[in-house]
Amino acid sequence: AQKVTQAQTEISVVEKEDVTLDCVYETRDTTYYLFWYKQPPSGELVFLIRRNSFDEQNEISGRYSWNFQKSTSSFNFTITASQVVDSAVYFCALSEPGIQGAQKLVFGQGTRLTINP
């Protein structure tokens, strides 16, 4: 069965520091997608990125970057020059085949990130 592990339960850094959130996954599928979501205190999930299993290129979007390494089954997320507004819970998720072609998501435990001024 699919599994996602976010070993870091909580991280606290000072503003402007760089921070990396780790995500390790397990799957037997050859085709799958990985996701990162941000959940601020309001509770609404904010989609950050989707990466398919055939695309191992790293991606950068502003202060955010993602490192996908299939060899180690990891999909790590780095925030550069962190800001207080980055404080939230971050979830890594993995697609899992569901019924009628729809893909379910398996979520990691989440990492609570606190950026201190």
Which residues contribute to the site for other proteins (CB under 8 A)? 33, 37, 42-45, 47, 50, 52, 91, 95, 98-110, 112
Identify which of residues 31 and 83 has a Cβ nearer to other proteins in the complex. Answer: 31
Least Å from the CB of residue 22 to other proteins: 15
Q: How far is CA 29 from CA 1, 37, 98, in A?
A: 10, 22, 13
Distance separating alpha carbons of residues 20 and 113, to the nearest angstrom: 10
Least Å from the CB of residue 109 to other proteins: 5
Quickly tell me which residue has 């799958």 as its tokens: 32
Identify which of residues 47 and 117 has a Cβ nearer to other proteins in the complex. Answer: 47
Distance separating alpha carbons of residues 56 and 10, to the nearest angstrom: 27
